[in-house]
Structure 1
Amino acid sequence: MKLDPAGCYRAFAARDARFDGRFFAGVTSTGIYCRPVCTARLPREENCRFFPSAAAAEGAGFRPCLLCRPEVAPGLPGTDAGRRLAFAAVRLINEGALAEGGLAGLCDRLGVTSRHLRRVFGSLLGVSPVAFAQTQRLLLAKSLLTDTAMPVTDVAYASGFASLRRFNALFRSRYGLTPTAVRQGEPGRLPAGDAPTLTLGYRPPYDWDGLLGFLCLRSIGGVEAVADGVYRRTLAISRNGVVHAGWLAVAHAPAKNAVRVTVAAGLLPVLPAVLTRVSHLFDLACDPAAIAAGLAGLADGHEGLRLPGAADGFEVAVRAILGQQVTVAGARTLARRFAAAFGEPVSTPFADLTTVFPGPARVAGLTVDAIASQGILAARARAIIGLARAMAEGGLVLSPAADVAATRAALLALPGIGAWTADYIAMRALAWPDAFPHTDFGVKKALGETDPKRVLERAAGWRPWRAYAVMHLWRSLQGETA
């Protein structure tokens, strides 16, 4: 990604949060690189070099600033084809794809050649996928060393390193400090415990209350809960045939333009994947200024509205099927029954979190009668089983790393899934910013239209941000739908 040094320096001098995560500034006089929002003394312009990613800055020999902490900067949104591919690759890297299948395996899952992926990464992020992954592991380790009292060995493995020796050597060669030295320099870190808390940044403004309200209205009892301004949930992630389950909690830290994520010990072996899913669920990579400009006034006064994502794509898809032509409250009741009947119990310190939502393999083996016994229509039970089988067999993946057009077509080919359901899944599970369920009752009501064709015509000017337009239209109806 070509950067304008003069423009970057102006943003750096202004500490403009809109550019946080969009570039990083390397200071040649100190050998340190910073976020645009760093509060340290502004260096001279001639001493600054600008990079499209933290990995590119580190590749040029710069060390991360201990004050602004580049490891908590928000990620980049994925809209155009190149960014979408990089966005998907980053998601898969954090899910462990490189560790499991190497670069060839990652490219196979993305359906591109290694040459093309390296070219896209080099253009947008300034480094190769392997170098990017290495920097991500180091930055996560730095965050754990700074924010928690986890033993260094646990930090290494939670960050994705296969050996402590490799972690220590790479950390010292890259940052000029041992992991222990970084920890000694951070006396204010949190006390030791089984559930460390980390920080993830975003670009302001951020409508935390709006997003939390959306999730609260749709929360699945036993799986999710919202209380005292904190979102909590259970989660299970499979890695190399082993299922890691536990709970997480997300709280707002507005003074830092960030959220604080607490993760139970059971999920630490898959911590990068957990944090990636939290970022997706809370839309932390969003660029609110660009979206507000693209919505031509629709976002006025509510520029911080986010597109709620998904911690688990299958869960959101089942929730979408259960929500077909019923109220939000009705779908929530059905989802709670479904999870209680077929989910797995999990131990948590919270009385309202007891169950992990059932995965595709479990649901694929259910009968229509078993699901219907929970008050779910037989047609929807068949749709849920068909969805589960498609995912369990590996032919359907519901995550931001999936190809949108192919996934939408695959969804529409399943029984009981129409355009509304496919588009809702694309909005939330696929994080597709241009998804637009134009037949939605609430969308039509908010626009004062009854003809879906007219709805599409009126929404054309909102591309590629029509999913955000849907959120604004639903907001105007105070969450009556979906």
Structure 2
Amino acid sequence: MDSVCPTLPALDRESCYRALAARDARFDGVFFTGVKTTGIYCRPVCAVKTPRESSCLFFGTAAAAEAAGFRPCLRCRPELAPYALQENLAHAVWQRIAAGALNDGNVERLAEEVGLSSRQLRRVLLQHFGVTPVELAQTQRLLFAKKLLQETHMPMTDVAYAAGFGSVRRFNALFSERYGLAPGDVRRAQAKEAATGRDALVLRLAYRPPYQWEHLLRYLSGRAIAGVELVQDGAYARSVQIGDSSGWLRVTHAQARQQLELEVSATLAAHLMPLIARVRSQFDLDANPAVIEAHLAHDPLLEERISAMPGLRVPGAFDAFELAVRAVLGQQVSVAGATTLSGRLVQRFGTSADTPFSGVTHHFPQAVTLAYVDAQAIAAIGLPATRAETIRNLARFAAEGGMQLRPGLSLHDAVERLKSVRGIGDWTAHYIALRALRYPDAFPAGDLGLQKAAAGEGARLTEKQLAARAAAWSPWRGYAALALWMA
């Protein structure tokens, strides 16, 4: 169909229009509506008067809508929409581009990282999204710049470079060409930056409701790394190192707006695209709870737990290596014990951080630091020698790029790659895959807590029995694990 993007095989034109007319938040980010009479494209939750069906064209991505000549709505702001992510190669590449992978324009390098030729990469994106890699990257940069223009008072030069443009001139030209407006016209004169009392930027990140913020914070709080992370007064804060820049961030919940509010130190302005991608992943903002819960609720064991916690998310990790080390520290010890050990590791090997939060004083030690220290020095924090050696093995693995997985890599292959590190078994590999590498079907069937929760009434399933029971929960076994853990 010429009116529905190839990414929407299960949605016909009639279904899209019904969702649009109902302003159904479940479809936010799943498709966009181009209105022929105005030349503007919107999210399905846009509050403007519903256009006639004959005036609508439907697209699976903002890039496809813009490639067809439509401009983004200034009211519903398509850049705020959650992504409609799927477990396939095209969407994995899209995630990398959204995080700035093509800001340097090097399609060949991205193709090499993906394991394809540039021609194959182009064909994959055209088939799934109807646009080329360059067109997709341009849309992401323009929408991100538009977000910064509407939410911050960053100087125009800083906006251009933060959005990945090589020059202000190129930014101005492409913005005007695509949107028919100068960047300055988009900036709302009445917009006011939040008064935080700190030298920071405040940005908004949308999600599909409902969202179990309290449950997610409770989970993160029990596992927060002392000195690096802090959960306090309904907010999550942490230190941040990206490239040569360091700073901090703080995340709060704006429930009335169905958004998270992200406060970022101004020192990280040049890295906002990858930083926001990490935060979206850590807080699982692109999940579609209606789809996930409808699938899992078929099992009576999960139905009661899910209905008590609608909108449950899988807490992720801001940094994959940091989470992987935390997982190793948690082997055969309690959650509280692992938290104590992680704090000692930070105090011994981390570097100091300048933040406005009294409980956030350090940056987590980098992989290259732990890779070449003596294992006995790591063991001195209170670890068995074998586990200290595992952390050093993991650090070397990460320092050599082991945690940077090729887009589209299967869960099985990712787990096997992690298990190639001496000292990492199936439980640890699945836990890392679930929380750090964001595989929604990862499931540590060897977890004692899951085995007990799945059996109920003081009983316990074996690992094999639990794995068999969980097979029906695929491809969302990770969310089932969270529902059982939280219970």
Match of 1:212 in 2: 217
Q: Following the alignment from structure 2 to structure 1, what is the Cα–Cα distance between the partners of residues 146 and 99?
A: 19
1:132-143 matches, cutoff 5 A: 132-143=136-147
Q: 2:482 aligns with which of 456, 471, 480?
A: 471
Q: CA RMSD in A?
A: 1.7
CA gap of 1:101–1:174, structure 2 versus 1, over 3 A, is closer
- Do the aligned residues in 1 keep the contact of 2:103 with 2:165 (CA within 8 Å)? no
Structure 2 distance, partners of 1:405, 1:397, is 16
What are the equivalent positions in structure 2 for 1:400-415 lying under 5 Å apart?
A: 404-415=411-422
Instruction: Choose the corresponding residue for 1:19, options 3, 22, 27.
Output: 27
Aligned with 1:375 (options 382, 405, 428): 382
Shift in Å at residue 337 of structure 1?
A: 0.9
Partner residue, 1:479 = none
Percent of counterpart pairs with the same letter?
52
**Mapped partners of 2:406, 2:307: distance in 1:** 30
CA distance in 2, matches of 1:343, 1:26: 50
Using the TM superposition, give the Cα deviation of residue 413 of structure 1 relative to its aligned residue in structure 2, in angstroms. 1.6
1:399 to partner: Cα distance? 9.0
Give 2:467's aligned residue. 456
- Alignment partner, residue 238 of structure 2: 233
Whether the 8 Å CA contact 2:175–2:182 is kept in 1: the answer is: yes
Q: Which moved more, 1:432-441 or 1:259-268?
A: 259-268
Letter in 2 for 1:53: T
For the residues of structure 1 that align with 2:347 and 2:481, how far apart are their CA atoms?
A: 31
Q: Which residue of 1 aligns with 2:3?
A: none
Alignment match, 2:51: 43
Contact 1:158 1:270 in 2 (8 A): yes
SS at match of 1:172: helix
Q: Which amino acid aligns with 1:71?
A: E
Unaligned runs of 5+ in 2: 1-6
Is 1:263 matched with 2:250?
A: no
- Aligned match of 1:437: 444
The 5 Å alignment of 1:57-136 reads: 57-79=65-87, 82=88, 85-100=89-104, 102-136=106-140
Which residue identity lines up with residue 63 of structure 1 in the other structure? R
- Counterpart of 1:294 in structure 2 is 295
Checking the alignment, whether the CA contact within 8 Å between 2:29 and 2:83 is kept in structure 1 is yes
Preserved contact between residue 27 and residue 48 of structure 1 (Cα < 8 Å):
yes
Calculate the TM-score normalised by the size of structure 2. 0.92
State the shift of 1:149 in Å: 0.8
Aligned residue runs from structure 1 range 276-425, under 5 A: 276-295=277-296, 296-297=298-299, 298=302, 299-397=306-404, 404-425=411-432
Deviates more, 1:110-119 or 1:332-341: 110-119
Partners in 2 of 1:219 and 1:228 — Cα distance? Answer: 14
In the other structure, the counterpart of 1:200 is 205
Distance of 2:233 and 2:401 partners within structure 1: 39
Q: Does 329-338 or 98-107 show the bigger shift?
A: 98-107
1:246 matches 2:253: no
State the distance in 2 between where 1:355 and 1:401 align: 34
Q: Matches of 1:96 and 1:35 in 2, distance apart?
A: 23
Query: Hey, what's the Cα distance between the residues in 2 that align with 1:197 and 1:409?
Result: 40
Measure the CA separation in 2 of the matches of 1:267 and 1:400.
Answer: 26
- In the aligned structure 2, how far is the partner of 1:314 from the partner of 1:254? 31
The amino acid across from 2:425 in the alignment is G
Structure 2 partner of 1:427:
434
More displaced 10-residue stretch of structure 1: 16-25 or 148-157: 148-157
Aligned structure 1 segments of 4 or more residues deviating by more than 4 angstroms: 398-403
TM score, norm. by length of structure 1 = 0.93
Decide which moves more: 11-20 or 108-117. 108-117
Q: Is 1:182 the equivalent of 2:186?
A: yes
Pick closer, same or farther for the CA change 1:444–1:150 going to 2, 3 Å. Answer: same
Q: How much does 1:411 deviate? A: 1.5
Q: Structure 2: which amino acid aligns with 1:19? A: F
Cα distance between partner residues in 2 of 1:101 and 1:191: 34
Cα deviation per residue 1:253-295 (whole Å; 9 max; x = unaligned)? 1122111111112221111000000000000110111111221
Following the alignment from structure 1 to structure 2, what is the Cα–Cα distance between the partners of residues 134 and 196? 23
Q: Deviations over 1:321-357 (max 9, x none)?
A: 0001111111001111111211121211111111111
Residues 470 and 361 from structure 1, CA distance in 2 versus in 1: closer, same or farther, beyond 3 angstroms? Answer: same
The answer to whether the aligner puts 1:223 opposite 2:228 as a matched pair is: yes
Q: Secondary structure at the match of 1:415?
A: coil
**Which shows bigger deviation, 96-105 or 262-271?**
96-105
In structure 1, how many angstroms separate the alpha carbons of the residues matched to 2:462 and 2:239? 40
Question: Does structure 2 retain, via aligned residues, the 8 Å contact 1:26–1:62?
Answer: yes
- Say if 1:396 and 1:410, in contact at 8 Å, map to a contact too: no
Measured at CA, do residues 50 and 186 of structure 1 come closer, stay the same or move farther in structure 2, by a change above 3 Å? farther
| AA in 1 matched with 2:278 | R
Q: Is the 8 A contact 1:396 1:407 kept in 2?
A: no
Inter-partner Cα distance in structure 2 for 1:290 and 1:67: 27
Give the letter aligned to residue 279 of structure 2: V
2:55 counterpart of 1:34: no
Shift, 1:403, TM fit: 5.1
3-state SS, counterpart of residue 30 of structure 1 = coil
Paired residue total: 467
Amino acid at match of 1:149: H
CA distance, structure 1, for counterparts of residue 330 and residue 482 of structure 2: 17
Task: Provide the secondary structure at the position in 1 that maps to 2:33.
Answer: strand
**Separation of aligned partners in 2, 1:429 and 1:403:** 15
Q: Distance in 2 between matches of 1:180 and 1:100?
A: 24
